[in-house]
Structure 1
Amino acid sequence: MYFIVAVYKQNKLLLEDAITMEEDNSFEDLLIETLGYITEEKVTLKFFNTLTNHWAGIRDLNTKLIFCKNFEPCQLQFTLNTTESESLEDTRTNINPLERMMENSKRLHLPTKHLFVNRKDLMFNDLIDLLNQKSVGWIIGIHETIGNSFVNKLIDLLWYIDPHHEKIKARGCTIPDIFLTLPQYQINETYNQFYFTGHHKKEQISSEKLETLIKTIESCVSQPWASQNIWKNIIGDIFNLCHIMRKYISYLKNVNERMKFINESDEPVRNIFNNISIETRESLQIINKKYDTISLLLQTSDDYELHFLDNYLPESKKDRYEFINNMKLKVPFTLYRYYHGNYLGTLNFIWKIFDDPAERSKTFEAQAITLANDMIPKFFTRQMKKNIAEKVLLIVILYILIFIYLHINSYSKF
């Protein structure tokens, strides 16, 4: 908070200055900060009430400065009252002003909190409270320059990753606990709520921007103040955060390289023959009633006639899994399964085979497998689509040229 302080003694103005001090300090602390020493003289305090345009008294100097929150910048008037007996007393203990100034210069200060305009200001203020709890800070003079710069750069990094905590954790990257003790994380909330509630394009984490933010933080903590013992634990947690974020950057780069390889490939990503399973199951005379429909279907079908099994499966994934694993029918059959490897799940085909294993035909079996392979959806890469588009374009251009040539020749005959 900002204060305009005037100190009077015997109706004379001793000094007048503009002072900045945290709101959790008292008026007595403000007086000591202004004078540079502790006074034992009786002190009268008044502040200017902007609502009434009059000076009003404050009786208790231990009152917190937050009292003046609504009058910022607050105008204060301290008056030192010395009696004749006090002025003649030679035994009074005085504080050496130089020593007091030396003590004040060693006191640790933190950057001034922001006015709460947005939730990034809230994160800034909460981080200041966290640093205060850890009893760290800067000497007066640099706390609003070097200190403020460091806190803002750390906030930039924390704000950038704020909406993505769950995603980062899912990739095996755990954010240090000290940063998760911020109040909003303790109630399972995020600071950047606009990311989820706003109607705008959701920005994904960029490895380039994340690396830039990390380097900015690392340049700050390489300064001399960061080597002080009071900062040892905090700086260790910050380096740990940077290490975790670089681990996540490595993951992002690997994913991007993999996607680039896939998009530039001239072949489908998934090879059919590496993602199918073929199983032969023998017949069973007594079966579960839930398999009667499929059993009857195969009994009335030709040998090696292909059927799409998914049409007869339960809706629940768990029920499907148990249904297929325990499936026994009154005829021997081959079960063909293709694994998509994503949300599309598994495709299942089935066909009846000969009862006698000696009579079973590998040729018919191969034909059924080929037919099933042809029914598997094919997903083309970007490069494959690009190749097809280029070929189509060449054909179109060729037809246009032929049309122009024939059109010109038809006119030349006349």
Structure 2
Amino acid sequence: MESQERLMLPPGPQCRNKRDTLTKLVTEWLSEIGLGFSKDAVETIGKNFIAVLTNTLWYIDPYVDQLNERSCYVPKQFDRFFGLNDPRLRKKKLMPVESSKLLDHATNIDVQLELPFMQTERWKAVQELLTDMSTAIHKYVKYLENQRVKMKEIHGLDHPRRSPSEAEKLLLIHPNTVVKPTFKARYKPLVDLISSAPYNDPLCIDDFTSDDTLARRYYLQNITVSIPMKAYMYSYAYGNNLGTYHFIWKVDPCLDENETLNNQKSLMRLKLSWLICTYTLKRMNAGLHLA
């Protein structure tokens, strides 16, 4: 029989920031469900447990949707703790999730799950929740590692021996003020996206083409007479049966045409290189090889 000793929780911190608020919420949650620690353990095991859980929830908060999208579901019972760590509210950019940090947090949770107090009947429900959360994080870490390996394979692919002029093509598209109604309807989704995008922001045309190769070729051929703004279309033959990529971006119509033509490749090379790697990874995952 479990001891009837009075259970205690560490005092919640003064809420000087949102992380303190999260610690307080975790402590209050444990109190609500009738959990705590003995007097001898509250300042050691108790404080450490709350810190581990708080740190894990804080780190995964901005990435919960990403985990869910990959079927790495964090238990719904933890939803009450999410929303506090949003970098956008602090006018900061959300950095990519780091698999090493995720693994550290999952490992810390695993250590807590092995502690004797977690094996008691009183803690069984929390044990199950933490087990599910740890499993979800480990699963996502494995997914990230697989993606890293695939990206490494992409960079390691042997490129065909061809000159740059054979591998890529940059085409200036002049604005078309009169577009056939059938073309206008067909290209409307692409045109709308180009119109709303900033200058020099490349978009992948392949996202709008059909899986049918004939329809795809027809779509690509008629872009030049269907775009109502000044733009560049860039084609890059990746080789290794991974097909050709097509990107398009609008440019400032007031820019000098010759200067723009001479500078576009150098200005866009880094951005396009990243996009090509990203879309290559997508094609490898989907098993697509487009011409």
Task: Decide whether aligned partners of structure 1 residues 224 and 312 sit closer, same or farther in structure 2, where only a CA change above 3 A counts.
Answer: closer
Task: Identify the residue that residue 253 of structure 1 maps to in structure 2.
Answer: 145
Gaps of 5+ in 1: 1-102, 269-292, 295-308, 318-339, 351-374, 382-414
Q: Deviations over 1:295-345 (max 9, x none)?
A: xxxxxxxxxxxxxx968844136xxxxxxxxxxxxxxxxxxxxxx785464
Select which of 8, 15, 18 maps to 1:109: 8
- Provide the aligned length of Structure 1 versus Structure 2: 190
- Report the secondary structure of 2:218's partner residue: strand
Larger helix proportion of the pair: 2
Cα deviations by residue, 1:34-80 (Å, 9 ceiling, x for unpaired): xxxxxxxxxxxxxxxxxxxxxxxxxxxxxxxxxxxxxxxxxxxxxxx
Given the alignment of the two structures, is residue 214 of structure 1 paired with residue 87 of structure 2, yes or no? Answer: no
Structure 2: distance between partners of 1:119 and 1:380? 47
Relative to its length, the structure with more strand (as a share) is 1
1:312 to 1:196, Cα distance in 2 relative to 1, 3 A? closer
Aligned match of 1:121 in 5, 11, 20? 20
TM-score of the two chains, using structure 1 as the length reference: 0.41
Q: Is the 8 A contact 1:110 1:138 kept in 2?
A: yes
* Residues 112 and 144, structure 1, Cα contact 8 Å, conserved in 2: no
Whole-Å separation in 2 of the counterparts to 1:119 and 1:266: 49
| Code of the aligned partner of 1:251 | Y
* Number of the residue aligned with 1:385: none
Structure 2: runs of 5+ lacking an equivalent: 161-179, 191-203, 211-215, 220-232, 240-291
1: CA distance, partners of 2:29 / 2:152: 43
2:65 matches 1:166: yes
- 1:235-250 equivalences in 2 (<5 Å): 235-250=127-142
Q: Does 1:131 align with 2:23?
A: no
Name 2:279's counterpart in structure 1: none
Tell whether 2:192 aligns with 1:192: no
Where does residue 181 of structure 1 map in the other structure? 80
Check conservation: 1:108, 1:139, Cα contact below 8 A.
yes
Alignment equivalent of 1:377, drawn from 210, 235, 247: 235
CA deviation after TM superposition for structure 1 residue 379, in Å: 5.2
**Is 1:315 paired with 2:184?**
no
Q: CA offset at residue 228 of structure 1?
A: 1.5
Q: What's 1:46 paired with? A: none
Change (3 A) 1:341 1:315: closer
SS class of match (1:349)? helix
- The one of 349, 360, 368 equivalent to 2:218 is 349
Residue 155 of structure 1 deviates from its aligned partner by 0.9
Give, in whole Å, the separation in 2 of the partners of 1:146 and 1:218.
Answer: 14
Separation in 2 of the partners of 1:241 and 1:156? 13
Alpha-carbon separation, structure 2, partners of 1:138 and 1:132: 11
Which digits, 9 at most, give the CA deviation of each residue in 1:323-376, with x for residues without a partner? Answer: xxxxxxxxxxxxxxxxx78546465428xxxxxxxxxxxxxxxxxxxxxxxx98
- CA 1:202 to 1:180, structure 2 compared with 1: closer, same or farther past 3 Å? closer
Aligned mates of 1:258, 1:311 — CA distance in 2 = 38
CA distance in 2, matches of 1:118, 1:173: 29
TM-score by length of 2: 0.57
Higher relative contact order (CA 8 A, sep 6+): 2
1:210–1:249 contact (8 Å) kept in structure 2:
yes
- Structure 1 residues 272-311: aligned runs within 5 Å: none
Aligned equivalent of 1:149:
48
Is this contact kept in 2: 1:310–1:348, CA < 8 A?
Answer: no
Q: Which amino acid in 2 is paired with 1:246? A: H
Distance 2:185 2:124 in 1: 65
Q: Distance in 1 between matches of 2:237 and 2:7?
A: 63
* 1:377 aligned counterpart, secondary structure: strand
User: Could you say if the C-alpha distance between residues 259 and 341 of structure 1 is closer, same or farther in structure 2, counting changes exceeding 3 Å?
Assistant: farther
- Does the 8 Å CA contact 1:107/1:139 hold for their aligned counterparts? yes
Query: Structure 1 residues 171, 315: closer, same or farther in 2, change over 3 A?
Result: same
Taking the aligned partners of 1:212 and 1:221, their CA distance within structure 2 comes to 14
* 1:254 aligned counterpart, secondary structure: helix
| Distance change in 2, residues 1:150/1:310 (3 Å) | same
Q: Does the 8 Å CA contact 2:118/2:124 hold for their aligned counterparts?
A: yes
1:228 and 2:127 equivalent?
A: no
Question: What SS does the corresponding residue of 1:378 show, helix, strand or coil?
Answer: strand
Q: Give the CA deviation at 1:144.
A: 1.7
What amino acid does structure 1 have at the position aligned with 2:119? S
